Amino acid sequence: MRENPLRTYIVGIIISICGNVLISVSLNIQKYTHVRQAQRGLKPYYTSRLWWCGVLLMGVGELGNFAAYGFAPASLIAPLGCVAVIASAIISVAFLKETLRATDIVGKQNEMVLKPFGTCGILTITGTYVLVTFAPHNSTHITAMLVQYYAMSLTFVIYLFVEAVLFCVLLYLYKMQKLKHVVVVLLMVALLASMTVISVKAVSGMITESIKGNLQLLYPIFYVMLVVMVASCAFQIKFLNQAMKMFDATEVVPINFVFFTASAIVAGIVFYQEFDGLAPLDICMFLLGCLLSFFGVFLIARNRTQIKPQDRTFITMDKVPGKHVESVQPEASTSTYGSLADRFMCSRAGQSDDS
């Protein structure tokens, strides 16, 4: 019985969407667990069953994304990551009671109308629909011989050389010149992500073919791609964690999504030749859908509230509603001078010890 390419294409889309929704649910479960454990002063988060349920859901979601690459083009699966951003924003607002920035909230207290969030969501969903509609619909059977042929092509060799040179330059600027800029770090993540996408699709496709009866696991190229997948994922996570430590999530999330998606699309075009035979109008509409998704994700991330670190010595009292306090610290001549700061520092130290 001949396989229906459109059916395979749709299966890949559904698996990717479900995987991204599970990832967003798992992230919010883990965040809820962190908040609950911190508020109640309970045991560490990793002792909670709920946290492990979130980790399990994360694994299932990532496994779904991994499997989706075996059914649909990489240039389509990568942009569908915006589904996780939309779902995470909806879940966090609905169940974790998170809000947007005060400047983006319209309405009275307890009757907030999140108009910007709705606009961002509609924009992102529209972009997702457009890119799914006009994405490459071809479903190539990934075999070991085909992967080996693609890997030895002149186009990919040049592409790999350019990526290696660019990565070395960025790494030199980051490590030796101490250029700690969000674009520099996330560009390195994106360059590694392109190798991850290529290897993940290759490994997933060969496993899919092996399950169908066409064994591909005996070819050395399978294990080469497996090593590339693990190594690129490990270093990608390392640099991404460094970016999250140095910069706000409102910067890292949208920039990383744009860079990752762009690198995945380019990797699919160069390595798997996914845009071959695609009409110019379809290419333009696909890129338009990507841009709409990028812009929507950027706005959603920018509208999320951020917890800023408080000053460790003094509390700003002049902004307390209904209060007008000109001086918090007593006069230096009194015996109570410095007691507020000391007590505040002790309280902070006690919290640090508990954590």
pLDDT for the residue 310: 42
Q: Which residue has the higher pLDDT, 290 or 32?
A: 290
Q: Enumerate the H helices of 95-219 as residue ranges.
A: 115-134, 144-151, 154-175, 182-211
| pLDDT tens column, 236-270 | 988 988 888 888 766 787 888 889 989 999 999 99
Q: Cα–Cα distance between 248 and 244 in angstroms, integer?
A: 7
pLDDT of residue 96: 67
Range in 108-112, 207-211, 299-303 with the lowest mean pLDDT? 108-112
Residue 286's pLDDT is 92
pLDDT at 147 over 90: yes
12, 62, 78: which is closest to 258 by C-alpha? 78
Using a pLDDT cut of 70, give the percent of the chain over it: 74
Pairwise pLDDT comparison (298 vs 282), residue with the higher score: 282
pLDDT-derived band of residue 101, with 50, 70 and 90 as boundaries? Answer: very low
Q: Average pLDDT, whole number, for the chain?
A: 78
pLDDT of 321 reads 53
Q: Does 335 score more than 50 pLDDT?
A: no
Contact (CB, 8 A) for 165 and 33: no
pLDDT attached to residue 243: 87
Q: DSSP alpha helices (H): ranges in the chain?
A: 5-40, 49-68, 74-77, 82-94, 115-134, 144-151, 154-175, 182-211, 220-246, 249-270, 280-302, 339-354
Domain ranges of the chain: 1-138+280-308, 141-273, 311-355
Distance CA 137, CA 73 (A): 8
d(CA 177, CA 214): 50
- The confidence score (pLDDT) of residue 119 equals 64
pLDDT band of 14, cuts 50, 70, 90 = very high
pLDDT tens-digit map of 125-142: 888 889 888 888 776 789
Report, as an integer, the average pLDDT of 74-80. 87
Residue type, position 63, single letter: L
What are the pLDDT digits (tens) for 23-75?
Answer: 888 888 887 887 777 777 767 767 788 888 988 988 898 888 888 888 888 88
326 falls in which pLDDT band (50, 70, 90)?
low
Average pLDDT (337-345) is: 44
